Structure 1
Amino acid sequence: MGPGFDDRPSERASGQWRVTRREALAAIGGATLASSIGASRTATDPGRDAPVRIRVYPGTVPPQARLRYGLDALHRDWPAPFRDALAAIDSAFEQVLAYARDRARLESLEISVERGAPIRFPPSTTPLSVDAVLPSLETLLERFRERLRNRDALTGRACHVFLRWSPLNFRVGYGGTLAPNSITGERDAGDGDGGDAQTVANVGATEVWDSRAVTRNMAIHETIHTFLPDDIVAAIGDAYCDHELGTAVRTDEVTLEISPIATAYAGPDRIGGGTRFHGTGCCDRNRFYRHDGTDGIENWSYTTDLSEATCEGVTRYLERRFDS
């Protein structure tokens, strides 16, 4: 589709998020479990004028994986891939605010991207089961939520991003989020700690199977999901799901450059179609904000620049939920 936005109302009811999963990889072995819990952090009542917070938490990275990034990484909670993922998320929301303020929108809204304390899952708290070795996305998000509750970190207007290192866990894939905690600021009736979204970005998978560029884009991708509810997405152009707000632009005859929300969805539905594993669920390349086709494409590159449609979608949601 071409540039410009359609303000038509959504023709479908607001639904639940489809979850990004990569189940093409057969896994043998388990995820590393640490033996300590990170320091807790107390949340305060944020109030209407408080910043919208995006808090990013590092998970456990086994020593043999840390050695990929030098001896110094053995003693830090934030090895280079995690630092780059955090910086990419920060840059993405700077782009959103720049887009909005160029149009005299969101002029008083503050977004704060912060480091959270490390997340650890002691083996003693995990019953012996398949989920103890290869946790599903649902199980991982439940454990993450419990840690956030224990730290009193839920504010009602925050997105919590867990950077996971699980390159062999096909049940988590590249990451994802699940209802009812899939949209930042949305609170279900009867949900005592609702309003805080949570998501997982499997940095281990992107680092081992893809590249640092894909790591950056998927960290943005999984975070941006939590600011794009279905009705907002459906009101922008031809999009049915948020992946279609992304772009795939030919930079030469054999190279396609992919924006963050389109990463893992812009290529052909096969192993090696851009990213090593292709996203499952929604998306139709004919409905992308821009897709230049994959015929003759041999090289895939990734930009952290958000598409105009992605910025518009996030801006509309921030206006509705936090700036009215």
Structure 2
Amino acid sequence: MPLWAWTRYGFDGVRDDWPPPFQDALSAIEDAFEQVLTYANERSRLEGLEAVVERGDLVRLPLPTMSRPSEAVVPSLETVLEGFRTRLDERDVLTGSTCHALLSWAPLNHRVGYGGTLSPNAWTGNVTGQPTDTGDSQTVANLGATELWDSRAVTRNMAIHEVLHTFLDTDAVEAVANSSCDHDLGTAVRVDDETMRVSPMATAYAGPDDVGGGTRFHGTGCHDHEEFHRHDGLEGVENWTYTTELSEATLEAVTRYLETSIDR
């Protein structure tokens, strides 16, 4: 993280190179999996399964060997994920059932946006049969973007959002929702006439498709408000709040995914 960004947080965490947004993002991810396991265990499912969420070592991505200079200055999501994969290979940390989340600080990289994942390493444990798919997934959460353009609440939700993408395939989503889009597992619930509360999988997709509609920038992936687990409509909404509490649909879909795609 650059010096100017450290000043935003009073250099809190500088000794461990672990600033507050990164601390909070990791804690939010850990809490999300605790929610899933609590939900599952209360229904006598996923018994004995443990989720371990831990901080990895600092990652410096290799310079892209691309002919286009723009890839070195503003790398695409594909380039970032390829570089991340290279570092994971070098460190010999691929296990076959791990999601590796890169918490990035790139507030001006519109090509990465808020983050994301790409095939063939988009699902944890669910091997696609492609030569480069070992069962380990990679995803990026651009904390620089959420911190600079939005809020800490959005930072937490998008960290959860990008990680859970790797535990939600089409089969798991379609078994729960009237849709194949995992964003539709989310909720946007009115807490009063002008205020909407948004869950993680709906974050960046719950608002109108324009700048400042909920999050500063709208997501570019699939979504349909009519197919959301719950969406209370946009009329009159002026304020947006965010909760790390997963919707019941998200909890069920992740549970189903873990039951079928992770060896235990």
- What is the rounded CA distance, in whole Å, between the counterparts of 1:305 and 1:209 in structure 2? 22
- What is the rounded CA distance, in whole Å, between the counterparts of 2:42 and 2:238 in structure 1? 36
- What is the rounded CA distance, in whole Å, between the counterparts of 1:95 and 1:270 in structure 2? 32
Given that residues 177 and 184 in structure 2 are in contact (C-alpha distance below 8 angstroms), is that contact kept between their aligned partners in structure 1?
no
Map Cα deviations across residues 228-274 of structure 1 (whole Å, 9 max, x no partner).
00121112131230000000000111100000000000100000000
- The runs of 4+ residues in structure 1 deviating greater than 4 Å are 125-128
Where does the alignment leave 5 or more consecutive residues of structure 1 unmatched?
A: 1-60
Determine if the alignment matches structure 1 residue 146 to structure 2 residue 86.
Answer: yes
- What is the rounded CA distance, in whole Å, between the counterparts of 1:107 and 1:146 in structure 2? 34
Given that residues 115 and 139 in structure 2 are in contact (C-alpha distance below 8 angstroms), is that contact kept between their aligned partners in structure 1?
yes
Larger RCO: 1 or 2 (CA < 8 Å, sep 6+): 1
Determine if the alignment matches structure 1 residue 173 to structure 2 residue 116.
Answer: no
- What is the rounded CA distance, in whole Å, between the counterparts of 1:240 and 1:116 in structure 2? 32
Partner of 2:204: 264
Map Cα deviations across residues 6-40 of structure 1 (whole Å, 9 max, x no partner).
xxxxxxxxxxxxxxxxxxxxxxxxxxxxxxxxxxx
Given that residues 109 and 323 in structure 1 are in contact (C-alpha distance below 8 angstroms), is that contact kept between their aligned partners in structure 2?
no
- What is the rounded CA distance, in whole Å, between the counterparts of 2:177 and 2:19 in structure 1? 39
Partner of 2:220: 280
The 5 A counterparts of 1:183-194 are: 183-189=123-129, 191=131, 194=134
Partner of 1:81: 21
Map Cα deviations across residues 52-99 of structure 1 (whole Å, 9 max, x no partner).
xxxxxxxxx111111111134443321000000000000000000000
Answer 1 or 2: which has greater helix percent.
2
Determine if the alignment matches structure 1 residue 248 to structure 2 residue 192.
Answer: no
RMSD: 1.5
Determine if the alignment matches structure 1 residue 113 to structure 2 residue 113.
Answer: no
Given that residues 106 and 323 in structure 1 are in contact (C-alpha distance below 8 angstroms), is that contact kept between their aligned partners in structure 2?
no
Quick one: percent identity of the two aligned structures?
63
Task: Give TM-score, length-normalised by structure 2.
Answer: 0.96
Bigger CA radius of gyration: 1
Given that residues 67 and 74 in structure 1 are in contact (C-alpha distance below 8 angstroms), is that contact kept between their aligned partners in structure 2?
no
Determine if the alignment matches structure 1 residue 202 to structure 2 residue 118.
Answer: no
Partner of 2:36: 96
SS at match of 2:54: strand
Where does the alignment leave 5 or more consecutive residues of structure 2 unmatched?
A: none
SS at match of 1:71: coil
The 5 A counterparts of 1:1-324 are: 61-121=1-61, 129-189=69-129, 191=131, 194-322=134-262
Map Cα deviations across residues 133-162 of structure 1 (whole Å, 9 max, x no partner).
100000000000000000001010000000
Partner of 1:29: none
Given that residues 120 and 130 in structure 2 are in contact (C-alpha distance below 8 angstroms), is that contact kept between their aligned partners in structure 1?
no
SS at match of 1:135: coil
Given that residues 162 and 200 in structure 1 are in contact (C-alpha distance below 8 angstroms), is that contact kept between their aligned partners in structure 2?
yes
SS at match of 2:171: helix
Given that residues 113 and 142 in structure 2 are in contact (C-alpha distance below 8 angstroms), is that contact kept between their aligned partners in structure 1?
yes
